[in-house]
A and B are shown apart, each in its own frame.
Chain A
Amino acid sequence: MSEQIQRSWKINNKTREVRFAPLARLLDVLRDQLGLLSLKEGCGEGECGACSVIIDGELQLACLVAAAQVDDGASLITAEGLEALELGRRLKRAFDRQGAVQCGYCSPAMLLGGYALLSERSDPDEEEVRAALAGHLCRCTGYSTIVAAVREAAQSGQEEGA
């Protein structure tokens, strides 16, 4: 047995202790050990984006990251944590209103993609939204409603902020 690795992460603002094998994928640790089932394995090779997670403010693909690469004390956001965040709630409202959710398999990650973008830029134009979400495949919607939802969330934030 190889030695287990131990980490303490702040996930959705809660401290979680976890032990895992040295080569464990972050996706498996988050899903199987921590029960964060919003992360989906759509392809397992970094093409579909359905396993996205925000690590210390940066959008990452959990299927391509070894859990050991995530530092002790790192701060993670998954879709389970969006309801507790003002921007998360705004995005979910806009997704629902625009009809941006169909089968829902890409939705948690897509919301995180929007969250990461709007955390950096408060009012992106359509091209910026499309570029930011280019790593997320959706087979249901044709993307228009998703792009519109991210822009609506941005604009509703501007109005609330004004």
Chain B
Amino acid sequence: MPLREDTHAIDIERIRADFPILARETRPGVRLVYLDNAATSQKPLPVIEAMDQYYRHENANIHRGIHRLAEEATERYESARRKIARFVGAGSWREVIFTRNTTEALNLLARTWGRANLKEGDRVLLTEMEHHSNIVPWQMLAAEMGIELDFVPVTEEGLLDMEAFERLLGQEPKLVGLTQMSNMLGTINPIAEMATRAKQAGAVVLVDGAQSVPHIPVDVQALGVDFLAFSAHKMLGPTGIGALYGREELLREMPPFLGGGDMIKRVELGGFTVNDLPWKFEAGTPPIAEGIGFGAAIDYLEGIGMEAVHAYEQALTAYALERLEEVPGVRVYGPGADQKGAVTSFTMEGLHPHDVAHILDDAGIAVRAGHHCAMPVHLRFGIPATTRASYYIYNTFDEVDRLIEALYRVKEIFQA
């Protein structure tokens, strides 16, 4: 039995008590083991209660009203923005734009920055391990404007091929867009180094932080990136809200995204003047309760500390990798625990991920089976799908043991 390093700085039982869903059974006598955190995380009581509080006591539209409720709602919503700015090390709250999720943030960039700054024949450099949301918006722009896309290949070990990266930078891409943490391989990419090299080559740097911001300390200024996109729902917050960090200088030059209320200063029949940052990119009534919930999620994570979150998850992931690799026929994709976030995607010889996930579900274990919206990286490894167990701050070493037991049960049923 491998070493279980469950001596850590955080009190898991106390954390678990904040997540009521973790106490539920998926069928009589079978307690939920939630290992689908890379898809969406569970929500702690402070987040649920903050949203509830808004609807019970403060519900009003923001930014316009003069009345007390509107003022309170605006303050709570905008204070969430300030928390988010601080959380990712932005220079100012004006650099944080609320979006629906990471996907919308990336589309916003392609449609505003992309349309304004790219022209036919310009190159955009992405990676083979991107989520579809950081590929398709650029493919759409390529079809529309004739820009060229290049992809940094992934090595057998599940890392970005840095020699190829250097070579592709030689083609002078206008934008380098890369994920900080792969949602399939779990690979944590060396963003600071890559951003430095990309900038030397004259590119603007965009980072997909959907998987990294929830799990590791992220500081946009220390990393030297121009844009960072992430979603609340993968970091203990609600669905329906995400954020785009952008360097103020770049945001100021970008054309607006959607048109409507809130994104304007003044409208006449002959035209409009855009609002100041960040509202220039935020047309229409936003998801207010969700914004407030996002702020509460940040408070919760800061209460634990992102260093502690990362350290605990790294120990848990190392243990999961060790135990997974002892199951005959299991192959885990991606690098070792030292270069990886809390994601373990694997295949089992002779078995389809759907069948594996189905039998795990019988044991109360929620995992993801499929291509996880990252088909290119699956194709890279010549597999149509994987089973993915992904962890968060409330998962325990015992839950990893339950996963492993259930995998042996899968083998027994299939005599594999």
Binding between chains A and B: no
